[in-house]
């Protein structure tokens, strides 16, 4: 019970330190509060200048996948459409999940399977919170494809910072080179 009262007293002293008391808190008897609170109280009662707000720069946000995909379209003639992946469209159910892509876009390419979405439609851009997550995703997919064999598909992967460009192996190596040049990897 005594500990609870001491804690309540310490809380009251800290709250009182937030207002402008007429008598400095540090002049109260030492028996009124534990020694650790007295040290905090004396700091709280010390007059200080009003701190000036230091502007915090906004974190640099990685470009979203749709913007990256749209920037490829004028440079790769076979791109016919860019689709922004939403939670409802995401067949992988990875969008926004921990360590997964934070945005994604499907690129429809005339050289891939008509009417398909995702990698089967041509290419995919996935953007991650950090480069390590992008690299882990690439390594995972390539590892699975290697283990399963070419019958399950092939892909070219291009990493650039937090962005992963996946190009379907159904496209020709010449078209992949166009994606590579346009992506700048």
Give per-residue pLDDT as tens, 155-177.
999 999 999 999 999 999 999 99
Q: What is the mean pLDDT of residues 96-101?
A: 96
Position 92 pLDDT exceeds 60: yes
Task: Give the Å distances, CA to CA, from 5 to 1, 11, 16, 18, 37.
Answer: 6, 10, 16, 20, 13
What global pTM score does this model have? 0.66
Show the tokens assigned to 120: 């089967």
């Amino acid at each position: 019970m005594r500990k609870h009262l001491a804690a309540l007293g310490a809380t009251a002293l800290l709250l009182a330190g937030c207002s402008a008391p007429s008598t400095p808190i540090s002049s109260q008897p030492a028996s009124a509060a534990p020694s650790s609170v007295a040290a905090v109280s004396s700091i709280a009662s010390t007059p200080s200048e009003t701190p000036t707000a230091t502007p915090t720069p906004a974190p640099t946000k990685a470009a979203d996948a749709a913007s990256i995909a749209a920037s490829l379209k004028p440079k790769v003639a076979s791109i016919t459409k860019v689709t922004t992946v939403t939670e409802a469209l995401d067949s992988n159910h990875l969008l926004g999940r921990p360590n997964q892509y934070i945005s994604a876009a499907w690129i429809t390419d005339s050289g891939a399977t008509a009417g398909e979405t995702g990698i089967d439609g041509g290419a995919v851009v996935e953007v991650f919170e950090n480069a390590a997550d992008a690299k882990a995703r690439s390594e995972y997919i390539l590892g699975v494809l290697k283990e399963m064999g070419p019958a399950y598909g092939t892909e070219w992967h291009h990493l650039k910072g937090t962005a992963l460009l996946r190009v379907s192996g159904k496209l020709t190596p010449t078209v992949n080179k166009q994606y590579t040049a346009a992506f700048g990897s």
